[in-house]
Structure 1
Amino acid sequence: MLVAMIIGAEVAFWVILALGLLVRYALRMPRLGGALLLAVPLVDLVLLAVTFLDLRGGGDVGGVHGLAAVYLGVSVGFGHHIIGRMDAWAAYRFDGAPRPVKPEKGSAARARYEAVQFGRHAVAWAVGSALLMLGVWYVGDAERTQPFLSLAGLWTVVLIVDGAVTGYDVLQNLWSRGGGSARTAGKGESSVRYATKSDASREKRSLS
């Protein structure tokens, strides 16, 4: 049942999101569309309630309950960004807004984007891990909830790896930006030297 609820929550998320954007832009009903978009997080609350009710019923604690916690964490961490991104695309498609673009590689904006994305992952990890630990406390049986602890540990390793990769990408973007500025400055200095040399040559010829 819980697996079906997780799949249903994912489907409901996209259906309500698409319906909200359709009503807001295509049908020109911004208030109703905005209300539908605000209702998207209610799907997560329903899934959370069903998960804890299932745990309370004494069912086997397994990976499915952990998957529900991961899903809810990711939804909290990335859900607002996904909704905002889809809203921007809908505004571009139906309302003449500027086309959404990802910051250019090698720019400070791209470095900030990568850092913010990792921040969202950190929020997802914090919420998901908190739910897993809450599940451990709620069940009150360390042996039954061992899958929760294992999943939290695995996710922590994934977060650390993601942090290292993100740090490398941020430094690479900042380094590329600095290198590009240095190269541009170098070209400018060469142009100035060339212009100065040409002026001196013309002045010498005029004197002779």
Structure 2
Amino acid sequence: MIVTLIVLCEVAFWVLLALGLVLRYPARKPRLGAAVLLCEPLLEVVLLVVTAMDLRNGAQADWKHGLAAVYIGFTVGLGHSTIRWVDARVAHRFAGGPPPVRPPKYGTARAVHEWRVAARWTVAAVTALALLQAAVWYVGGDGDVSSLRAWQQKMLFVIGINVVIAGSYTLFPKREPARERGPAAKR
């Protein structure tokens, strides 16, 4: 049941996003579109409540409960930026908005961009870690929480990978290629 609900929440996320953007741009009802987009967090609340009820009713804590916590964490950490990313492209394509801003490619600006991306992923993983820890405490010492602990290790890995990627752009910044300056540069 939990996995089905996670899939339904993901589908509902994209349906609400599409509906909100259709209302916002082609229907020219920006307030109604924004109201629909603000309903997105309700999906995570429903998933959280159902997962807690499932554990409360005696379900063994397993990978599905961990996946629910991770899904909620990733929606918290990455949902807003995903909505902004899609909104900028829809506004440009269908409403005459400015072209979406591309991330910088080189130097310090790219490193700063990568640290911002890492921060979003870290927020997602830390949120998931907190929810997983709450589930561990909720289950208590009597239940098997090894699957929840395994998800926590995966979230620490996600944080580590993102810090390594951002750090690599800081320590080894990508340099802008040298532009050729005529025939002398070709030698």
- Tell me the TM-score normalised to structure 1 length: 0.81
Matched, 1:83 2:86: no
Match of 1:25 in 2: 25
Percent of aligned positions with the same letter in both sequences? 43
Structure 2 SS opposite 1:10:
helix
- Could you tell me how far apart the structure 1 residues matched to 2:86 and 2:142 are? 41
Q: Tell me by how many angstroms 1:154 deviates.
A: 2.5
Residue in 1 that maps onto 2:102: 102
Q: Deviations over 1:45-94 (max 9, x none)?
A: 11111110101010121100000011000000000000111111111112
Name the structure with the higher helix share. 1
The Cα shift of 1:137 comes to: 0.7
Structure 1: distance between partners of 2:125 and 2:107: 27
Deviation of 1:145 after TM superposition, in Å, equals: 1.3
Q: Which has the higher contact order (CA 8 A, sep 6+)?
A: 2
Contact kept in structure 1, 2:91 and 2:97, CA below 8 Å: yes
Q: Across the two proteins, how many residue pairs are aligned to each other?
A: 180
Q: Distance in 1 between matches of 2:67 and 2:87?
A: 27
Greater Rg over alpha carbons, structure: 1
Answer yes or no: is the 8 Å Cα contact 1:66–1:151 preserved in 2. Answer: yes
How far the C-alpha of 1:109 sits from its partner, in A, is 2.8
Q: Distance in 2 between matches of 1:79 and 1:158?
A: 17
Compute the displacement of 1:143 (Å): 4.5
What TM-score does the superposition give when structure 2 sets the normalisation length?
0.89
Separation in 2, partners of 1:82, 1:150: 27
What does residue 158 of structure 2 align with? Answer: 158
**Conserved in 1, the CA contact under 8 Å of 2:51 and 2:65?**
yes
Give the match for residue 47 of structure 2.
47
Q: Secondary structure at the match of 1:26?
A: coil
RMSD in angstroms over aligned alpha carbons?
1.8
Alignment of 1:1-208 (within 5 A): 1-141=1-141, 143-173=143-173, 176=175
Instruction: Verify the 8 A CA contact 2:60 2:143 in the aligned structure 1.
Output: no
> Structure 1: which 5+ residue stretches go unaligned?
188-208
Does the CA-based 8 Å contact 2:61-2:143 persist in structure 1?
no
| Matched residue, 2:184 | none
Asked whether the equivalents of residues 125 and 158 of structure 2 are also in contact (C-alpha less than 8 Å), the reply is: no
Look up the SS of the partner of 1:98 in the other structure. Answer: coil
3-state SS, counterpart of residue 25 of structure 2: helix
1:162-194 CA distances to partner (integer Å, 9 max, x unpaired)?
211221023333x526xx6xx79xx9xxxxxxx
